[in-house]
Structure 1
């Protein structure tokens, strides 16, 4: 069996320590530059302990990415009132999406996945499944509910969800990816958020 196919042991008191140490080092050094020695040191565990949880560095990277993406997605869902007026829900969703897209973690993970995609295509696939794909599913679920209540008029829910996500990337995301900017003012973020909601509602508002 390939190392990357072995099951991950998610029990034990040091599991969270390993994840937190790995997150710190991956954020600092990227996937290729991160050494097992540095991760073990940051986690406060031995290399033997680290390998008992993650026999392959790719597995560890994917677990860090998936854990963080799931945390962000679940946190967003806990905070939003899905029965509030549709424009209010979409504004909240757009603002959270912009915060996530422009966070240091998301930017680092995106760059690592792009850089390593040729050698380790499973990295990009796992990151997409736990990050963008999860967010897309949440948006689709909400839009279906809103459509059933007559708050939006949407025939192609999947396309509408994709369009909303792309609207939330306008101007900001590409500038961060290419290193032109590393932060934005509240006014700049508000411009993109409100523009995304206004454009989406102009197309799909009931």
Structure 2
């Protein structure tokens, strides 16, 4: 195996990138389009959390975090390939919702980053630290829906005469 990949680090990176590629390619081809941003974001979040909140992905996150200082390029590549692609996917959902007049965001990429931080990365980080669940269950689904509601409420278009 090392003949093909050159080192344990490169093999590890290839395994993780392949897993991310498989899942995100599927999501990119099946972006929910309901004409309503809330169920679109909930469905996308359900898919991501069901995939990420597993023992294996939580364990991989722990390894990546532990090795990030020794292998910063590995951590950067994994972050960009995983979180970067997910951000672009969520940003596209937000742009379409803005075109429909459901939400207002001045920067869809920034809004997507904030969404991912609160809805996806927060429960994932808690799981990696051992203070959260390592499976997407009824409790994590309820928290996810609350976070989506908060996000959508915060991005709703202002009404004429209302204060910012």
Q: TM-score range by the shorter chain?
A: 0.7 to 0.9
State the 1:84 CA deviation.
Answer: 3.4
Counterpart CA distance in 2 for 1:93 and 1:136 is: 12
2:154 maps to 203
* Count of paired positions: 157
Q: Deviations over 1:127-147 (max 9, x none)?
A: 102211111111112212221
1:143 maps to 94
3-state SS, counterpart of residue 155 of structure 1: coil
1:108 maps to 59
Unaligned runs of 5+ in 1: 1-49
**CA 1:184–1:112 in 2, change beyond 3 Å: closer, same or farther?**
closer
State the 1:172 CA deviation.
Answer: 3.2
If asked which structure has higher relative contact order (CA below 8 Å, sep 6+), I would say: 2
What TM-score comes out, normalization by structure 1 length? Answer: 0.68
Alignment of 1:1-206 (within 5 A): 50-169=1-120, 172-184=123-135, 186-206=137-157
**CA 1:87–1:111 in 2, change beyond 3 Å: closer, same or farther?**
same
**CA 1:122–1:190 in 2, change beyond 3 Å: closer, same or farther?**
same
Counterpart CA distance in 2 for 1:132 and 1:170 is: 9
State the 1:79 CA deviation.
Answer: 3.2
- Quick check: which has more Rg, 1 or 2? 1
3-state SS, counterpart of residue 58 of structure 1: helix
What TM-score comes out, normalization by structure 2 length? Answer: 0.83
**CA 1:185–1:111 in 2, change beyond 3 Å: closer, same or farther?**
closer
State the 1:111 CA deviation.
Answer: 1.1
CA root-mean-square deviation: 2.1
**CA 1:180–1:197 in 2, change beyond 3 Å: closer, same or farther?**
closer
State the 1:182 CA deviation.
Answer: 4.5
**CA 1:154–1:139 in 2, change beyond 3 Å: closer, same or farther?**
same
3-state SS, counterpart of residue 95 of structure 2: helix
